[in-house]
Amino acid sequence: MIDLGKAALLDAALTLPYSFVIPDILFENEWLYPSNKNFLCSSKLDVRELPGPDVERAATYFNRHRALKINDCFLLAMAESLKGSILLTGDRALRTIAASNGIEVHGILWVIDALQSQEIVPLRELYDALQLFHDDPRVFLPTHEILQRIKRIEELLEPSI
């Protein structure tokens, strides 16, 4: 969510045909753009309190998987409790553990692909976002995957140049 906000794609991503759910503790403690919190709460972002059993499950995951941060464990417990959910993360350890628990996992590039295939965001904006991801040392995405998408969009934009 933070990288989508950085690339000005968060609002568009929330229009995808999915429900976006986040544990309240992550929303309150990790969200870097406090000015957007009211907007996000009134949009398709569903901020939920984790029930006691999910908090206990998160603690169990935290004790069992040292590669996970506690907030990763909250996400994992929530995704597991919401049957049919998709966990959106770029964290490799969380992706691996979630997938081994039968949870479908995708990352930000999957969101970019969805925004393109559903024509929600103009190609030029997606291109600029991918360039931003490529150039930002704090965005940890596979360089070859970003470059593939940049090239694909360049080919689509070329006739209009």
- Inform me whether the pLDDT recorded for 27 exceeds 90: no
Length of the chain: 161
- pLDDT category at 149 given cuts 50, 70, 90 is very high
Q: Which tens digit of pLDDT belongs to each residue from 34-54?
A: 545 555 554 678 888 999 999
Q: Which tens digit of pLDDT belongs to each residue from 53-109?
A: 999 999 999 999 999 999 999 999 999 999 899 999 988 999 999 999 999 999 999
Tokens 């966990």, located at residue: 87
3-state secondary structure the chain: CHHHHHCCCHHHHCCCCCCEEEEHHHHHHHCCCHHHHHHHHHCCEEEECCCHHHHHHHHHHHHHCCCCCHHHHHHHHHHHHCCCCEEECCCHHHHHHHHHCCCEEECHHHHHHHHHHCCCCCHHHHHHHHHHHHHCCCCCCCHHHHHHHHHHHHHHHHHHC
- pLDDT category at 2 given cuts 50, 70, 90 is confident
122 and 102 in a common domain: no
65 and 40 in a common domain: yes
Last residue in a domain, options 62, 82, 107: 107
With b for 16 or more beta-carbon neighbours within 10 A and e for fewer, the 77-102 pattern comes to: bbbbeeeebebbbbbeebbebbeeee
20 and 10 in a common domain: yes
Q: Which tens digit of pLDDT belongs to each residue from 112-129?
A: 999 999 999 999 999 999
Last residue in a domain, options 82, 107, 132: 107
Please name the residues in contact with 44: beta carbons below 8 A apart, sequence gap of 6 or more: 14, 15, 19, 20
97 and 36 in a common domain: yes
15 and 85 in a common domain: yes
Q: Is 121 exposed, middle or buried (0-12, 13-18, 19+ CB in 10 A)?
A: buried
52 and 126 in a common domain: no
Tokens 């360089």, located at residue: 143
- pLDDT category at 29 given cuts 50, 70, 90 is confident
116 and 102 in a common domain: no
- Inform me whether the pLDDT recorded for 140 exceeds 80: yes
Range of the domain at 72: 2-107
Last residue in a domain, options 107, 123, 152: 107
For the chain, give the percent of residues with pLDDT over 70.
Answer: 89
- Residue 160: the pLDDT is 59
23 and 78 in a common domain: yes
46 and 76 in a common domain: yes
**Residue 84 sits in a domain of what CATH number?**
3.40.50.1010
75 and 35 in a common domain: yes
Mean pLDDT of 1-7: 83
Q: Total domain count for the chain?
A: 2
122 and 60 in a common domain: no
151 and 87 in a common domain: no
